[in-house]
Structure 1
């Protein structure tokens, strides 16, 4: 990571984002059960909401007084959990003033939670009683603790959007205890992903797709320096031009191919389709620029998904069907353009894909 990347990843909310905005550091990785040997994909997020509005105590946006806009939400939320069988999202909340951080390099400390560029430790817990009595927590019951080291590689930053991937390919190592079951996390099979995103509101659609577990159909070998990430959506602010902005980057054996932001680059185009079937979800993406074309086709079983819960900086819970999956599988194809012909560079199978999609109607909140 460059010095500029280190500073970008360590930056805390400032300016308008302190009172009207959110910021989130996100980690996704896979571990193996010591009991059964089966793998499970986990997520850990450090989410800051409107920190300057109520720095001394958490304020939630799903209570009556917040719904009439007497207060805006303000807190630090630690979100952790897993997809698949017995999947859950577990939340703990803290006042914004409790966090300690460095300015030039990511080093966040919040009670027992620690996040840096090369280590991650902490825990979350939520009991059944608090889940029933406090729906504003937007949490499932359960527990998860983790103690991990990590090595990030293949970073990328999109200048046009508030999204920075400090580790499109991240190797995690250590242990996770999820609902009293211990998991071993190994660098070669963690297939990790780490990023940071921020803004003044959520988009609709809200879309992410990423994977670093890529197996070539041509050579039958794992492509250890290949990964991709695609994201975007539309602004839903009143009066905004609701134009889609999708952006994509593909690392192929260490070299990156940038497909930019569709709305700003005439020679770049990213088209996206989401399909919901009776048992599966389907992400279809075609990204192209003047020289290359990149196709992504991913499926995820509904039984392996969660509806991720977040509220917006104004206190509305816009996304109530935000599909999220850490076990997507599918295919990618990568072509070089030559006149009217396409030359196939790579065809590959992908697994452990992190996928999200959600949309809402703004008229429901007016």
Structure 2
């Protein structure tokens, strides 16, 4: 449902999550090269891990010496990069002792040296030389440079309901939580990537913002979202629409819930939600994700008592990344997690009626789809 809740965007690493937990704020959007006019899809993430284990320097869990000593990761990782030709991910690690994280009347904030994030603005700078990238495999990234100063205007939220509410947050009931405060967001500002300047404008940004936190990740891992939607029914762009699908195999109180997804289609001002935690809606989900020689392909069908949504997406592997994260316990379980921002596909939405066949509300062409798929390997 489209319900803003800035408290769900607060930093969540307290209690047992302080010693074994991660929390990140994620943003992706499209920009245009100032000189060539070429589009490029970018992402920026502020990832925190195990604050109670913080030391004077960031602790990288993939460093052999740390593994042998039993030291678990602890840091702020400023993650950024781009998709498309020569897709790149860059990481900068900062000791959490040198980071200011909290919230005020305007929502969350993260501040560390020349990097910062809050509900309204993102700034940062990451530079990794080829020599450093080769010498530090524990950084889990490519070489390159990227700096940014971006304004954020979040328009539509995906609030998953009581599953990420205050009681279940306090109980640390789930292994992985999700809140999309800006599943449709407008971004504006500038980026410089490998010396090339890019301009971000609201109307062409096709932006998305969410956060995840918890003790570990999910496997399988599924995510699809886009607000670049064109109706086949009316032949026009949908200006007040966005869909968001995420999940895989959540764990509640240590019990795995196999092949469960959460999704919402905000279709021209109305929410069509498919949420397994809202059991009274009788939500049913089927999904299939596969890797071919040159593509990742997703198929998702969800149904409740009120609606049906069928989503088919594909993305060229040549324009995607094998995105890298390590778990709070220091183990890197996701070694083939495909992540992209240039997916394309179709979404069909039906409204259900008593005693009548479902009514096809629309068939929609989707572009600039943020997409993710992977399983532990």
Q: TM-score range by the shorter chain?
A: over 0.9
- Which residue of structure 2 lines up, in the alignment, with residue 64 of structure 1? 64
CA distance in 2, matches of 1:163, 1:242: 15
Judged with a 3 Å threshold, the aligned counterparts in structure 2 of structure 1 residues 332 and 3 are, in CA distance, closer, same or farther, namely closer
Identify which of 121, 128, 132 aligns with 1:126: 128
Judged with a 3 Å threshold, the aligned counterparts in structure 2 of structure 1 residues 270 and 262 are, in CA distance, closer, same or farther, namely farther
**Which range moves more in the overlay, 52-61 or 120-129?**
52-61
- Which residue of structure 2 lines up, in the alignment, with residue 343 of structure 1? 359
Number of residue pairs matched? 361
Measured after TM superposition, the shift of residue 265 of structure 1 is 5.2
- Which residue of structure 2 lines up, in the alignment, with residue 205 of structure 1? 220
CA distance in 2, matches of 1:327, 1:2: 25
CA distance in 1, matches of 2:9, 2:250: 24
Instruction: Confirm or deny: 8 A CA contact 1:248 1:270 kept in the other structure.
Output: no
Structure 2 counterparts to residues 18-57 of structure 1, below 5 A: 18-57=18-57
Judged with a 3 Å threshold, the aligned counterparts in structure 2 of structure 1 residues 265 and 138 are, in CA distance, closer, same or farther, namely farther
Measured after TM superposition, the shift of residue 314 of structure 1 is 0.8
String of CA shifts for 1:33-66, please: whole Å, max 9, x gaps. 1121110000000000111112432111112243
Measured after TM superposition, the shift of residue 126 of structure 1 is 0.6
1:77 matches 2:77:
yes
Superposed CA RMSD in Å reads 2.1
Structure 2 counterparts to residues 309-348 of structure 1, below 5 A: 309-338=324-353, 339=355, 341-348=357-364
CA distance in 1, matches of 2:343, 2:212: 21
CA distance in 2, matches of 1:17, 1:264: 28
Structure 2 counterparts to residues 215-226 of structure 1, below 5 A: 215-226=230-241
Gaps of 5+ in 1: 362-366
**What is the SS of the residue equivalent to 2:97?**
helix
String of CA shifts for 1:281-324, please: whole Å, max 9, x gaps. 11111111101001111110111110000001111111111001
String of CA shifts for 1:37-96, please: whole Å, max 9, x gaps. 110000000000111112432111112243346111111100000011021000000011
TM-score w.r.t. length of structure 1: 0.94
**Which range moves more in the overlay, 75-84 or 97-106?**
97-106
1:194 matches 2:209:
yes
**Which range moves more in the overlay, 266-275 or 92-101?**
266-275
CA distance in 1, matches of 2:361, 2:4: 32
String of CA shifts for 1:165-185, please: whole Å, max 9, x gaps. 110110101111111111111
- Which residue of structure 1 lines up, in the alignment, with residue 372 of structure 2? 356
